[in-house]
A and B are shown apart, each in its own frame.
Chain A
């Protein structure tokens, strides 16, 4: 009996050791390693304050940090700041800062560093990117003390908190940036969980974990450095090659930009893969209708187009798994009002009726005519190097079935911009990422005609006033009501044709867990673990 009991305890001990060892082995397997990610394009710069391109912000959230953080749920929480207050007039923002943060070059993060960063954005000798739009009316930054800083604006600036949390205003080291003039575009120095260790132009950028990181990021499941040792972002513009790399394991995660929806469907069905989808905030893929140029200067024509374009067809054919039908100039994720979707249900018969009543009757070659002139319009379609965008061609086909001769003006980015500035076509197809409904200001305020991005060339003093009210009203509920009213007015006026609320879609190998995304739908790698 004693021997049997001894055997029993020995067996249990052995079993316990085996289980613990196994658990240890499993835990060890998920620590460390290299995550290789395929991205569709090389960013023009990795300097967050200089970049106009979303591609920068796929990579940089792991390297630089901001005063505030906004998660996928939309809540804004402290990050490098411990808290903030806003003056009653909405013009001044006081941030209290953490006192335990250093940039990865050893420079302390403090109020002077914050002031340096914001002053840099507005410096006329500095070519700021999207960050410039976040500090409209900037007066200056005052260092109250080492851990307190006040940022002042000429007018109330309610969206500023969302912009601060959005990534464009991420903090870079003043000392390192001044010492590395051009190299800040390749290896900016931040306070984040990863450090850029290598940049091979047109090939890849390597991030290594910052072993000195001892905080807990707002989204993270742990305190301290990331689990993986390295993240390599490879620039693979060709979509089919990018897909092959994740299938073969050469990469463990890819961006699905320009990957056809049919290919995405087959990847979804692959059990060795997982598909992460996160809605983008801001404006959907949208066709802005130039209200100054015939025939889109005619409200009836614009309304008929909205009735006659099937968003569902876009989603089913081109955007399956990559987006949902859009209803308004802001995505439903940004401002959720289902009533906006009732305005223009797909009804080609109604579209035809409106056009008939407006005098545009079907003529020869199935193109509508009025006063001897055909119903012709020009869509400004951007060419990224692959010819016409498929959504432009789908739109053209749908308009043709309504009797509208839509011609695509397919051109590279700079002349595309020029035509938009000069209101030279019936409008471009575009999307706009914005972490705040204030994105409508850039799209529809009359001051942005001829600039970025009022390419509907739309001028309405009531809308202008409400857009300013939205910027200067602090109460979230009141702001939402203002922007909702603006959206209803814009939809009634049919200033645009919203097409697809886009999703940020990433294909990830199933053994990679812990991928997270911020409100801007950009990935963060702190909690990623690579299993066997």
Chain B
């Protein structure tokens, strides 16, 4: 297990290295003078443009700039936001927890809802329960998350006045934060839940047909133990895979949800930075997203090893 863990961790290093090269290179791949673009909103003098070029060390050779980018990054310095004139690290730190909370909540909703519906559909194959749950799954996949978000706001905020429509809640007030989290997490998680439900259903159907399931039932084990311990646990590998992939989709979806609900978040931060050509902030945000995704998939691989001993000793 330790060997497996070490091997996976070591394999992450070249991936992270590749991400930093890609993120660093984007400054050079954009046409035009990046400094003039960044300062376009301000009435900048040639001295100010030269000052910014020196501040960003843009006259140094690319490999020196890359080395500085990585070295500073390892020390928590991702430069200064051009538009907001504040450290990129600080800006990301302010909004990152909100995105993590939203993504985790959405993943929890999608996992719970998706797995539950998938199991029901598999156990009740070809019945009304199966048809209904799969119809809901199709609806969930087809519905754009931002449309669902607007519908939830209309129903629960405006019509029933139950939940707040905008913001992330007052920091430190758990109740307020949860109230502001429910609708965004549901809007974001429903699409992933639908995909997980369909995959759980097909994975469970494969497992339920296997002979050891008959053995388990013949042993007199109760239904829940048979389905969950003997069935689901062996159906989990493809489902866990989809969790990892869906996390990436959830991160992308946070942009729409954060905008519709006016929530602070990394998605909105990065999109606004792109529109404002705030390159340091774009680089920092994309780097955090990419590394986050790499480590979530590392976690998924480790969970494989926990769930399936064959992978551990393979």
Chain A interfacial positions (CB closer than 8 Å to B): 38, 44-45, 50, 52, 124-125, 127-129, 132-133, 182, 185, 200-204, 234-238, 240-242, 244-245, 247-251, 383-385, 412-415, 417-418, 421, 451-452
Contact = CB atoms under 8 A, between A and B. Distances in A.
B277 A241 contact: no
A452 B45 CA distance: 11
B211 interface: no
16 contacts: A44-B83, A45-B84, A127-B85, A182-B87, A182-B90, A200-B171, A203-B262, A235-B262, A237-B268, A244-B153, A248-B157, A250-B165, A413-B41, A414-B37, A415-B277, A417-B37
Interface string B263-283: 111001101101111000000
B14 interface: no
A432 to B, nearest CB: 13
A45 B165 contact: no
B1 interface: no
Interface string B49-67: 0010000000000000000
Contacts of A182: 85-87, 90
Given A241-B262, A248-B158, A418-B36, A451 B275 contact: no
Given A248-B161, A417-B40, A44 B84 contact: yes
A385 B166 CA distance: 19
Given A38-B166, A248-B158, A203 B263 contact: yes
A51 to B, nearest CB: 10
Contacts, number: 128
Contacts of A415: 32, 37, 277
Contacts of A417: 37, 40-41
- Which size class do B's interface residues fall under? 35 or more
A182 B263 CA distance: 23
B154 interface: yes
B264 A202 contact: yes
Contact of B38 (A241, A414, A421): A414
A124 B45 contact: yes
B168 interface: yes
A10 to B, nearest CB: 45
B41 to A, nearest CB: 5
A202 B94 contact: yes
B28 interface: no
Given A201-B91, A234-B167, A234-B262, A451 B43 contact: yes
A182 B93 CA distance: 15
Given A127-B48, A185-B85, A413-B41, A201 B264 contact: yes
B261 interface: yes
Contact of A127 (B42, B258, B263): B42
